[in-house]
Structure 1
Amino acid sequence: MKKILLLFIAVTLNNIQAQEIKTMTYFQNDTIKLDLDLYLPQKKTNEKTPLIIFAFGGGFSGGERTTEKDFGMFMAKNGYAVASISYSLYMKGKDFGCKGTLTEKIKAIQIGVSDMWQATSFLIENANKYNLDASKIFISGISAGAEIGFHASFWDYKLMNLYKNNLPENFKYIGFIGGSGAIQDINLITKEKAIPMLLAHGNNDMTVPYSAGSHRSCPTNASGWLILFGSYAVYNQMKDLHKDIELITFCGGGHEFSGYLFHQGQQYVLDFVNDVLKGKKFESHIIIPSDKKGKDSGKYLFCE
């Protein structure tokens, strides 16, 4: 019994020591201070560590970067660094729904994206200090965080960045992982800009459209009406471009599945990251979890 207890303690201590969490400020001015939590694996070699930058969800009005600690620890345990960032909650106290103001909703996204670019720049500048591989940076997020990820990947940061233009010339994220996110303009995803993607979405999401539709299902005459292209629209765009994408669809599911990849589906993320880094080419396809009924037929998904 004593040997078993000692073995349990040794394994537990090893798991604790296998990851390290560092909290640091990546951006600060007269009005705002933004931090990130950096989850680092314990490295025994000098090999640089690929990085996943994560943005939480919350409609640009709430949420905490610390809510995804389990995801950060899981990826660090498997040899990857994760930076979970805070970003400006511009819509706090404002209406991000149908009665809101369209320009304010777009501004909230732009501010969040600019914060993401600032965090990326900070981590690139400090890559050597934390043994990070600046050429292998993934971007990821849930809901509003996924919208940040989409736009940070495909907007022109020289035009859209609200801060200084400080990313390296021709910088490109190596892959995107998004839960129930969307992009404002599907045509931003071109053959030249496309990166491998892993997405998850419920096909009955009334908050962020699964395909093309209005944010929060707002009517066209609403002041906050905003057209968005969700995961399935992105899937079709990537498929037409013959680019790599995996989409996990929850038939009949709503916005409650936005965090699936970072909670229950962490192994999907790990496999995706491994495949991208190995240069594996996978055909665009939809994954329907075994407990959900549906079938993919050509360009349309039929959920039963």
Structure 2
Amino acid sequence: MKKIFLLLFLLLTLSSYSQNRYLDNLFENDKAVTRTYAHKDGKELTLDIYEPKKDTASLRPAIIFMHGGGFSGGSPKNEGEVTFAKMAAKKGYVAIQISYRLTRKGQSFGCDYQASGKIETFRKAADDFLDAVDYIVAHNKEFRIDTSKIIVGGSSAGAEAVLNAVYNRSLLFSNSTRKFNNFAVVFSLAGAILDSRYINENNVVPAILFHGTADKLVPYATAPHHFCSAEDPGYLILDGSRTIADMLKELNSAYQIYTFQGAGHEISGMPIKQLPQVFQFLKEVGIDQKVIQAEINL
């Protein structure tokens, strides 16, 4: 009998040691905390902060995520975003879901909306994202966040805002006084930027990218937004995930691109099935600082 108890003890001990922070579910979810990070255009902009319950680590990496919705809808309380945040917190991350100005609510963001307006929409959303980042950095001690390990991401419109804020900041904000640009990884779901040529050795950030090759709203590679014709007011060339990945490869940066052959904009949804691989990349690249370059075709 003593041998049986000893064997069970050893098995439980080995099991506990085999669990990995940032990969396995080691914690329960604490109750999310909502904070206001800015007031703009009469709107209160908030962020929801999810922490691992009873976590004693002195510093934790953070994931800041921005929902999609065509700059006209969506919420940080979307089911997919909340699921992702809770999964991240269970693994030891501080997960933050942010709201932002929905400047195209009830209005078109298609080919009939002028390109200059689209760029301004990107700029305002990117500005909100950077304000949320500033808030988190300013309150890093309260939430025990390691500011050298801040992972950022977004879906669709949110991805466009985040990617442009990270890679095209000088293009959008010629007089920006913000200094923080020390992001560990970008996680993008069907996102794009204005100009990949602005990605350089000074602002390059590793990325994990998801995109469908038949996305008719946000181009997979380099093509017009919404595939508008050159005669349309909304004609605006964007560089999608494929083009971004190619630039990161050229700069010898880590990246992982998931290409969904024949898929459309539905790839902007939270990839629940692939999240274990996402967390693997975030740990190996964002935490352990490994350089991984991978292409996954589905």
Mapped contact 1:114–1:161 kept (Cα < 8 A):
no
Structure 2 residue aligned with 1:265: 274
Structure 2 residue aligned with 1:52: 63
Structure 1 residue aligned with 2:72: 61
Give the one of 51, 60, 63 matched to 1:40: 51
- Shift in Å, 1:15: 8.7
- 1:250 paired with 2:260, answer yes
Q: What is the count of residue pairs matched by the alignment?
A: 271
1:155-183 C-alpha deviation (Å, 9 max, x unpaired) = 33696189x83x4x353211100011001
- 1:109 paired with 2:122, answer yes
Q: Identical aligned pairs, as a percentage? A: 33
Mapped contact 2:151–2:185 kept (Cα < 8 A):
yes
Mapped contact 1:146–1:178 kept (Cα < 8 A):
yes
1:35-75 C-alpha deviation (Å, 9 max, x unpaired) = 11111112442421101110011111111110111100000
- Shift in Å, 1:279: 1.6
- 1:153 paired with 2:166, answer yes
Secondary structure (helix, strand or coil) at the match of 2:208 reads strand
Unmatched runs of 5 consecutive residues or more in structure 2? 1-24
- 1:196 paired with 2:206, answer yes
Structure 2 vs 1, CA of residues 20 and 204 (structure 1 numbering), >3 Å: closer, same or farther?
same
Mapped contact 1:205–1:254 kept (Cα < 8 A):
yes
Mapped contact 1:110–1:161 kept (Cα < 8 A):
no
Give the one of 120, 124, 130 matched to 2:137: 124
Structure 2 vs 1, CA of residues 158 and 102 (structure 1 numbering), >3 Å: closer, same or farther?
closer
Distance 1:161 1:88 in 2: 21
Q: Which runs of 4 or more aligned residues in structure 1 lie more than 6 Å from their structure 2 counterparts after TM superposition? A: none
Matches within 5 A, 1:73-152: 73-152=86-165
- Shift in Å, 1:195: 1.0
Mapped contact 2:70–2:109 kept (Cα < 8 A):
yes
Mapped contact 2:216–2:264 kept (Cα < 8 A):
yes
Structure 2 vs 1, CA of residues 44 and 206 (structure 1 numbering), >3 Å: closer, same or farther?
closer
Q: Give me the CA root mean square deviation.
A: 2.1
- Shift in Å, 1:228: 0.3
Mapped contact 1:35–1:86 kept (Cα < 8 A):
yes
- 1:220 paired with 2:233, answer no
Structure 1 residue aligned with 2:219: 209
Distance 2:197 2:172 in 1: 17
Q: TM-score, normalised by structure 2?
A: 0.86
- Shift in Å, 1:268: 2.2
Q: TM-score, normalised by structure 1?
A: 0.84
